[in-house]
Chains A and B, each alone.
Chain A
Amino acid sequence: MHDLYAKLKDHFPLGPLTEQRADLSFFTVGREHLRSVMLHLRDQEGFSHLVLLTAVDWIEDGVFQLTYLLNNRAACQDLGVRVMLPRENTSMDTIHDIWPTAATYQRELREMFGIDFPESPGVNDEFILEGWTGIPPYRREFDTKAFSEENFTHREGRETHDPAEHMKKQLYPDGE
């Protein structure tokens, strides 16, 4: 993996390499280079399969991290390419013409994170949610508990105990 990274680094400005396992590594790339890196990896290096495209919401840093996970079947290698994007009005270039499956992932990200992929086919269609009007539910500023309490009826009788306190009361009812 180091060889490939060194080779890529000659052509593209890359972030540091994180080696998760012998067969799984990650590096960051600027969004303007993503497309050429992807094409290079697919056509020259044998990373022919897009395993997944997912996002992480780093709300503290104000960024979304997109991870494009690629697989090289012949070499049994996985490679994650990360792109950092600002959280406001996030928009990213589509890669559905490189891997058609990306269109589905992009549609999901559009719905769940609100990341736009202009020109990706059907990106604005409903994916999982139906009739969703609030902010995208996977964004971390979305308070799922408050939403659930507001929308769905709560059944009384559900209690939560602190395990340590509860067992202390159970075992030593008179105090220690």
Chain B
Amino acid sequence: MKDELKKRVIKGPDGFEFEVDPIQDYYCSEPPKAHPPAYVKIVEDLFNWARSESLWILGYGTGCGAIEMRPLMTPRFDAYRYGVQWRATPRQSNLFIISGYLSVKTLKRVIRSYEQMPSPKYVVGLGSCTINGGMYWDSYNTIKKLEEYLPVDLYIVGCMPRPEALLLGFENLKKIIRAGKAEGANQYAENFEWYKANQKKVIHDWDMPDYNW
């Protein structure tokens, strides 16, 4: 456990002393809940259509694939015309692109960011590294199968995929969302124990709460 996460007594600027337990006080300990679909299918379809047109990507690059997102968010390929945009914080985004190799250290940050994103949220694995480890298949610190740790809606193959492949990936993801099959957040909530067990198997120094909501 890191020092800043340990229970301690803090003296405030007014001289008042109080006890802080960061894990209890700064995080929500409630596990995630699955969100049931709307009461009528046509309403849920409308919701899904709306969701598919608002893909807000968390601007967080985990590996070399993040370089493919720069031409996408600039005039050359201009992904914004497809209703896709990048946001600075997990609280404002609903699509997480795991761009390339994912080391165990980064996985920790990815889990924290993913859990902070509001539901419904989607995960896209970009590049062969997220699928089977790619060229890091025998590395000591790169995970090889992303869907063991996070619910993945779509993989985009390639090493690296071109920005055009990503644009096609966005279009395919929209189709999946409109078909009501992008239930990653619910899947994560329902199989929470299984995901946590997998995550803790590779992250040996688990120094955060189980759900970083």
Contact = CB atoms under 8 A, between A and B. Distances in A.
B142 A152 contact: yes
A153 B204 contact: no
B105 A148 contact: no
A12 interface: no
B139 A131 contact: no
Where chain B touches its partner, the secondary structure class is loop
Contacts of B108: 130
A121 interface: no
A171 interface: no
A144 B140 contact: yes
A127 to B, nearest CB: 11
Contacts of B133: 148, 152, 154-155
A44 B108 CA distance: 48
B172 interface: no
A142 to B, nearest CB: 7
Contacts of A11: none
Given A128-B105, A152-B144, A153-B148, A133 B139 contact: no
Interface residues of B toward A: which range?
20 to 34
A148 B202 contact: no
Given A130-B105, A158-B137, A152 B202 contact: yes
Chain A CB count within 10 A is highest, among B133, B139, B141, for B141
B30 interface: no
Interface residues of A, number: 20
B183 to A, nearest CB: 22
B39 to A, nearest CB: 39
B185 interface: no
Given A152-B133, A154-B144, A154-B145, A144 B105 contact: no
A148 B140 contact: yes
B139 A148 contact: yes
A133 B204 contact: yes
Contact of B144 (A130, A133, A153): A153
A147 B138 CA distance: 8
A155 B198 CA distance: 15
A85 B61 CA distance: 39
A2 interface: no
B160 interface: no
A158 B202 contact: no
Contacts of B140: 137, 142, 144, 147-148
Interface string A138-171: 0000101101110111110110000000000000
Contacts of A8: none
Interface string A58-85: 0000000000000000000000000000
Interface of B: 104-105, 108, 131-133, 137-145, 148, 198, 201-205
21 contacts: A129-B105, A129-B141, A130-B108, A130-B205, A131-B203, A132-B204, A137-B141, A142-B140, A144-B139, A145-B138, A148-B138, A148-B139, A149-B138, A152-B142, A152-B145, A154-B132, A154-B133, A155-B131, A155-B133, A157-B132, A158-B132
